[in-house]
Amino acid sequence: MSILNTLVYRGLPSERTVIAPRITAHIKGIADQDSFLSDVCRVILPGENASINVDHPYYSKLPGAPYQYLEMLGVIF
């Protein structure tokens, strides 16, 4: 996934995009079991529910391709 900042190209590596919902579920599980966080602080963790990453069919096979070409299309919900 790419994020265009005014002066800088930002990308999220595909492995991080795909694993985001599992990390969210793990962190939410920890928070739910902690009575201080859930009852006293009433912490709400919105997190990611789903994610998709699509590798570029040619750039992903190109040896030594710049990382920007490997972070072309991704979605985190």
Segment 21-65, tens digit of pLDDT: 999 999 999 999 999 998 999 998 888 999 999 988 998 899 998
What confidence score (pLDDT) does residue 13 get? 85
In what helix (H) or strand (E) does residue 25 lie, and over which residues does it extend? helix 14-33
Phi and psi at 63, nearest 5°, equal -65, 135
pTM of the model as a whole: 0.71
Higher pLDDT, 70 or 6: 70
Q: Give the number of domains in the chain.
A: 1
Provide the CB-side half-sphere exposure for 30 (13 A, CA).
6
